[in-house]
Amino acid sequence: MTAIRTSLPPAQIVPADRLSTVLDAAISLLRGRRIAVVTGAGISTDSGIPDYRGEGAPPRTPMVFDTFRSSEDARRRYWAGSHLGWRRFTSVHPNDGHRALALMEEAGIITGIATQNVDDLHERAGSRRVTHVHGQMHTVTCLQCGTTFDRERIAADIEALNPWIVVPEQVRLQPDGDVEIDASQDFHVPPCPVCGGILKPDVVFFGEVVPTDVFAAARDIVADGDAVLVAGSSLVVNSGTRLLEVARRKGVPIVIINRGPTRWDARAAVRVEGGTSELLTELADALVAPF
């Protein structure tokens, strides 16, 4: 059952028989406004990519940037799991939530999407103005010479060096595209094809900061909006809260759709507890006029 919480009157869980009334209020709040969208891992769970903090989320030890840079063993472990995870990433598909946002962009009612996800499901659903705040899995950059490569090229090098590596039928993805693997000591990491330096996927590791130009692009998306729609994020990570501070300072309303509590629940004009696929579809159906 989906429940919707609104801060007008003070935040409360809305009984099932009042859900349509509160959803109508959310639609009325968003109708006629230019909507900036912030998404997190929760929007991709229906595509088979797990959330970081939702129910059933697997325990994980994220890679720290200084460890990756300084330890060859750490790079072997990371790249072995990351390669299998990325290969598995390529087999997942956008869901109704991604498609609903793409439809809203096509209709000209959203300013763009600032996503905390490293998958490319927004783009594959048809969204065009997407900023990846935490990077993306589909490019790789050398830490020494700065050359950027398509991930497919590096994947081909990995498989040439490690012909034994295959994608198991049961690979449990993590939201950053990594998986756990035991054979990392037998794994050979390819060097940069240009200078022989250390290659790193273009995702933001723990201990790194979001690049200034990337955050500026995400901030511009939010600043262009007359309202902000948060979909599938608990807003625990600092980058998400910094973006919402932009909206708060402008005084624009914030609508949050998420399974589970978020750090900004008390500040939301409308708080929706539920899945993004069905609720974003309902919003798009109501807000997008037939073409």
Give pLDDT, residue 12. Answer: 40
Backbone phi and psi for residue 149, each to the nearest 5 degrees, phi listed first:
-125, 150
223, 250 contact by CB (below 8 A) = yes
Give pLDDT, residue 25. Answer: 79
Give pLDDT, residue 133. Answer: 96
Note the maximum CA span of the chain.
Answer: 64
Is 93 one of the annotated active-site residues of the chain? Answer: no
Catalytic residue among 83, 98, 134, 138: 134
Low-confidence ranges of the chain (pLDDT < 50): 1-16, 53-54, 56-57, 169-173, 175-179, 291
- The whole-angstrom separation of Cα 136 and Cα 200 is 11
* Cα–Cα separations (whole angstroms), residue 41 to 81, 83, 116, 120, 162: 19, 20, 7, 12, 31
Give pLDDT, residue 257. Answer: 92
Give pLDDT, residue 206. Answer: 84
> Which SS3 state, helix, strand or coil, does residue 47 take?
helix
Q: Is 111 exposed, middle or buried (0-12, 13-18, 19+ CB in 10 A)?
A: buried
Give pLDDT, residue 85. Answer: 81
Residues recorded for the chain: 291
- The whole-angstrom separation of Cα 261 and Cα 66 is 32
